[in-house]
A and B are shown apart, each in its own frame.
Chain A
Amino acid sequence: MNTLALQQYLDFTYIAAVVLFILAIKWLSSPVSARRGVLAGEIASAMAIAATLFNPELVQYKWIVISLILGAGVGIPLGMVKMTAVPQRTALSHAFGALSAALIGIAEYYVGTTPVSRFQMGEIGLEVIIGSLTFTGSLIAAGKLQEILPQRPIVYRGQNIVSLSVLGGALGLAVALVVNPAHAFLFPIMIVVALTFGVLLVTPIGGADMPTVISLLNSYAGFSAALLGFVLNSKVLVVAGALDGSSGFILSVIMCKAMNRSFTNVMFGAFGQVATGPAAAQEARPVKSASPEEAADILAAASKVVIVPGYGMAVAQAQHKVRELYDSLSKRGVDVRFAIHPVAGRMPGHMNVLLAEADVPYDRLMEMDDINGDFPQTDVSLIIGANDVTNPAAKTDKSSPIYGMPVLDVERSHTVMVIKRSMNPGFAGIDNPLYYMDQTLMLFGDAKAFVSNIVKELGHG
């Protein structure tokens, strides 16, 4: 077969792969067809890799084979992590994706058989900058999620000016390289500056903003792959990168909307700093608390219960106990549903995955907009490790830092029960008036232990 004909076979294989990529995402739209989507993606990727191995440009296979084996060796354990570790695994995979896109751009720059044109230099420069900053930014995010690094935002005076100047520096170096591609010594400096910016970008962002940051890094990783497609003139990369990039982008927009905040606010706002002041003043206000026995009695007498899970449920690994509670109440004929706020947890969809892992049927998991109207007919709302997403101050108190954020209307239900370690304010340090309301009972303790005690009591009764 001559080279030209072979090239056409390769192109057709890539086109088929691209079609399957699009179908993969289409099938993911519903849990019924979603696994077919994974299969489509796997077939497409396998086809594209197999075709690439026939590329006539390849002259040496040793390192390809070694690196594929190593890649599988790293990838399989990363695919087997516990569901509670999914947010950090996802951040790590953004880092890997961006790293590989950046490295290929760098290699392309140094191949040097033909001098790069100014236009190519611009493409490579931008691609390597985005890839590099996404790499370090995602590593920091993974470190925060794994709790190797402090989860609270780390901020200092003049931070935004410093960060933006570093980004400006990286872009300036790229422009200098476009103006004079002969100044090759600037290229590694540009990479280091971009890597530094990635660190500066994510360090000041913490906890509750993680779902947005993860989505944003996802989008950057995708767009760096798409840009690499431009550099290499590879349409399959352009398509895969555009799909990944737009997915991350849409998720970031959804996350921002769910917090009523703008992109700029997430990037430069350092959420956790906003309201440390008023938190100190509220300790004296009276709250009502209840024991597991009392909580079990109230739940057993209810006919409609809504459980609101949050990051605290993930931290306490309470999802399996929560499912036992669900089973126990369902057996008694209680209608139990789960209300999932879009930003509950540390990444989009985090709570759904944990509850699915614990075997809660997904048709019991309700989105905020679908369940908010049902709270007035709800006998008990049980809040497990969620705070800000249930805070009625977001609707009424204009001075609250979360004013305007869409929240779950739990205070409309007849009884509200909140499982919480202590009266310490939540991550953002914002007081929650819900806890002082007449219909609210505080259940103090570890989420897992407390739910487990409720289940025991229900078993006795």
Chain B
Amino acid sequence: MPADFISNLYVFILAGFVGFELIKRVSPLLHTPLMSLTNALDAIVVVAAIIITGRHETRLTVVLGTIAVVASFSNMVGGFFITDRMLRMFKSGKSKQS
């Protein structure tokens, strides 16, 4: 079993625990923005897509990479955008009066 795999597994398990503890505490009020925000964060796969595209190895990898960049970058842009739009709408009774 490659050494990389083991270190990645450590990272995966620890990040999973951190995620679990943090997400448990997110109010159900914000579950929809939570989903769109984590989607936008997940769109960080765009960095891998950029590398595949820019390495320019074969025509196939450039095509696949390009589609992957479009798909993930649109998720990133759209995800942050809509999350912020949603969160701007959440106002408490007090802040509304002020």
Contacts and interface: CB of A to CB of B under 8 A. Distances in A.
Interface of A: 17, 21-22, 24-26, 28-31, 34-35, 37-38, 41-42, 44-45, 48-49, 52-53, 55, 57-61, 63-64, 66-68, 70-81, 83, 86, 89-90, 93-94, 96-97, 99-101, 103-104, 106-108, 110-111, 113, 119, 123, 214-215, 218, 221-222, 225-226, 228-230, 232-248, 250-251, 254, 340, 342, 347-350, 352-353, 356-357, 359, 361-365, 367
Given A61-B54, A67-B73, A107-B68, A37 B44 contact: no
B interface, by DSSP: helix, strand, loop or mixed? helix
Contacts of B87: 31, 34-35, 38
A236 B18 CA distance: 14
A349 B38 contact: no
Residue picked from B34, B57, B72, B74, most chain A C-beta under 10 Å: B74
B68 A86 contact: no
B50 to A, nearest CB: 5
A347 B78 contact: no
B42 A225 contact: yes
A213 to B, nearest CB: 12
A42 B84 CA distance: 10
Contact of A71 (B40, B69, B86): B69
Contacts of B45: 97, 100-101, 104, 225, 228, 237, 240-241
Nearest to B24: A250
A81 B56 contact: no
A37 B36 CA distance: 12
A21 B38 CA distance: 9
Interface in B13-62: 15-16, 18-20, 22-58, 60-62
B8 A363 contact: no
A443 B54 CA distance: 61
A235 B11 CA distance: 7
Interface residues of B, number: 85
A348 B36 CA distance: 11
Contacts of B31: 251, 254, 347-349, 352
Contacts of B35: 90, 214-215, 218, 247-248, 251, 347-349
Interface of B: 1-2, 4-5, 8-9, 11-12, 15-16, 18-20, 22-58, 60-62, 64-94, 96
A74 B23 CA distance: 29
A107 B18 contact: no
A93 B53 contact: no
A340 B32 CA distance: 13
A53 B50 contact: yes
Given A103-B71, A362-B91, A72 B50 contact: no
B22 A22 contact: yes
Contact of A243 (B19, B61, B86): B19
Question: Most B CB atoms within 10 A — which of A214, A356, A357?
Answer: A356
